[in-house]
């Protein structure tokens, strides 16, 4: 006896046009027998936007929760005729039509399947895109948006650096500062010690090698003592 859910899945695919009547019949017969057909039916000529899946592909789609509604939803936003492996990857990572719509509304255009998966994995949504754009950054690069999320560069962090006097920095510079732990407090400390003109690269180098306020004061104290000794 065919399991009701599996029969429903086949009928949904038939209604959507993703299988032919002949393929649906073969798949239902295979489910009745509990075995796959000896060979997949011949792939017919494409008709309009329909995509025809073999029984084995239908099984994989079913296992990963890809149903007719999901396929139709993706088609409705312009992602039609995707191969089974791509549909499975998108579904597995939780990419849904609403995600694509949100990103597009935020102004992101480079939204092929691989980019959608990458953005979803790292939690990049429309809010981040709009946030970075409101701060004056170019947000067209998917890779750059992912980098921002991976390294924790947020609007709050950018505001902290700007309040400390670091303006007009690129996203790459922001990322480098964050990676090396340069925050607003460190920038202000260096400025208070007379390094107000230090560049982002110089601040990163100082932070990386432990040139902090204590070390600078120690070295200045030594220098002052050395000058006094030399004058005697």
**43 falls within a domain:** no
> Do both 140 and 57 map to the same domain?
no
Q: What is the pLDDT of residues 106-129, one digit of tens each?
A: 999 889 999 999 999 999 999 999
Instruction: Determine the average pLDDT of the residues in 157-173.
Output: 94
Please tell me the total count of domains within the chain: 3
Pair (85, 98) in one structural domain:
no
Q: Are residues 28 and 111 in the same domain?
A: no
Percent above pLDDT 90 for the chain: 64
Give alpha helix (H) positions in 64-199: 68-76, 84-92, 97-105, 113-121, 126-134, 142-151, 155-163, 171-179, 184-192
Instruction: Report the C-alpha dihedral over residues 154, 93, 52, 101, rounded to 10 degrees.
Output: -30
pLDDT tens string 203-222: 999 999 999 999 999 998 87
Exposure string over 82-117, b if 16+ CB within 10 A, otherwise e = bebebbbbbbeeebbbebbebbeebebeebebebbb
Task: Give the pLDDT score at 22.
Answer: 74
Pick the last residue of a domain from 131, 151, 171. 151
Per-residue pLDDT, averaged over 141-148, amounts to 95
60-84: pLDDT as tens digits? 999 999 999 999 999 999 998 899 9
In a domain, 164, yes or no: yes
- Confidence at residue 4, expressed as pLDDT on a 0 to 100 scale: 58
* Same domain, yes or no: 134 and 178: no
pTM comes to 0.71
Could you tell me the residue range of the domain that residue 68 belongs to?
A: 1-37+48-92
End-to-end CA, the chain: 105
- State how far the Cα of 155 lies from the Cα of 163, in Å rounded to an integer: 12
For the stretch 118-138, what's the b/e string if a residue is b when 16 or more beta carbons lie within 10 angstroms of its beta carbon? bbbebebbbebbbbbeeeebe
Orientation of helix 142-151 relative to helix 171-179, angle to 10°? 30
**Worst-scoring range by mean pLDDT, 21-35, 41-55, 114-128, 143-157?**
41-55
pLDDT of 27 strictly over 90: no
71 close to 53: Cβ distance less than 8 angstroms: no
Asked whether residue 12 is assigned to any structural domain, the reply reads yes
């Amino acid at each position: 006896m065919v399991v009701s859910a599996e029969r429903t899945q086949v009928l949904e695919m038939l209604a959507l046009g993703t299988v032919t009547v002949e393929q649906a019949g073969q798949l239902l017969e295979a489910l009745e027998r509990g075995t796959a057909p000896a060979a997949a039916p011949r792939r017919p000529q494409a008709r309009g936007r329909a995509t025809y899946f073999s029984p084995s592909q239908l099984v994989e789609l079913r296992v990963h929760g890809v149903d007719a509604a999901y396929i139709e939803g993706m088609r409705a936003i312009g992602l039609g005729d995707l191969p089974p492996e791509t549909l499975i990857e998108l579904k597995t990572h939780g990419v849904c039509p609403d995600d694509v719509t949100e990103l597009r509304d935020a102004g992101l255009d480079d939204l092929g399947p691989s980019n959608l998966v990458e953005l979803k994995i790292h939690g990049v949504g429309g809010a981040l895109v709009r946030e970075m754009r409101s701060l004056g950054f170019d947000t067209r690069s998917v890779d750059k948006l992912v980098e921002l999320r991976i390294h924790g560069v947020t609007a709050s962090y950018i505001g902290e650096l700007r309040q400390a006097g670091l303006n007009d920095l690129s996203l790459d510079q922001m990322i480098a500062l964050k990676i090396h732990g340069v925050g607003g407090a460190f920038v202000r400390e260096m400025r208070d010690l007379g390094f107000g003109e230090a560049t982002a690269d110089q601040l990163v180098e100082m932070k990386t090698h432990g040139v902090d306020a204590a070390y600078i004061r120690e070295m200045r104290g030594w220098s002052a003592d050395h000058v006094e000794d030399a004058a005697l």
